C-alpha cells in the first residue's frame, strides 16, 4: 500500500458503521477534502467498500497501524479476486495508465462472485 499520512495528523469524525447498507466501518477526515466520499477512510478489519470505476472511490483509503494508506492498483486487482499473475499480464501490456488500471479494476466483477453465479446457473 502507498502510505499517505498519519491518521492522527487530521481531525476526524468518530468511527461509524453503515448498518443500513453493508456494515462498513469508516471515519471521515475533516477539512482536507472537498467531498465527503474523498474524506472517507475505511477500517480494513471489517467489510470493505466496492471499488468504483470513477470518482473518489478510485483511490480507496484504508487505516492500517493508525496511518492512512491508498490501495495500489495491484492491490485493487487482488481485492477483486484476480491473481498477481493476472495483474502482471495487464501491466506487461504497458497500454494502461494508473487511472485506467483503477477504472478497469472498478469496472470488473469480483472473481469469487462471478464463480458463485456460474455455479448457481449451472447447478442441475
Please state the rounded mean pLDDT for residues 11-28. Answer: 75
Give residue 46's pLDDT. 58
Q: Indicate the pLDDT class of residue 118, thresholds 50, 70 and 90.
A: very high
Spans of all domains in the chain = 2-122
**CATH architecture of structural domain 2-122:** Alpha-Beta Complex (3.90)
For 4-18, what is each residue's pLDDT tens digit?
566 667 788 887 776
pTM for this prediction:
0.70
Please state the rounded mean pLDDT for residues 92-102. Answer: 87
Give residue 100's pLDDT. 84
Q: Indicate the pLDDT class of residue 1, thresholds 50, 70 and 90.
A: very low
Looking at per-residue confidence, does 48 or 21 come out higher?
A: 48
Angle 92-51-9 from CA coordinates, rounded to 5° = 100
For 40-81, what is each residue's pLDDT tens digit?
888 876 567 777 766 544 577 887 777 788 888 888 888 888
Give residue 22's pLDDT. 61
| Residue 39 pLDDT exceeds 50 | yes
CB 32 within 8 A of CB 12: no
Amino acid at each position: 500500500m502507498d502510505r499517505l499520512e498519519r491518521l492522527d495528523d487530521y481531525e476526524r469524525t468518530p468511527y461509524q458503521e453503515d448498518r443500513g447498507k453493508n456494515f462498513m466501518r469508516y471515519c471521515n477526515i475533516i477539512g482536507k477534502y472537498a467531498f465527503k466520499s474523498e474524506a472517507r477512510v475505511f477500517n480494513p478489519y471489517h467489510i470493505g467498500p466496492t471499488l468504483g470505476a470513477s470518482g473518489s472511490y478510485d483511490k480507496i483509503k484504508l487505516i492500517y497501524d493508525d496511518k492512512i494508506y491508498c490501495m495500489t492498483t495491484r492491490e485493487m486487482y487482488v481485492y477483486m479476486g484476480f491473481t498477481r499473475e493476472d495483474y502482471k499480464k495487464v501491466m506487461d501490456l504497458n497500454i494502461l495508465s494508473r487511472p485506467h488500471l483503477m477504472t478497469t479494476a472498478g469496472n470488473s466483477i469480483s472473481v469469487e462472485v462471478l464463480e458463485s453465479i456460474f455455479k448457481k446457473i449451472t447447478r442441475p
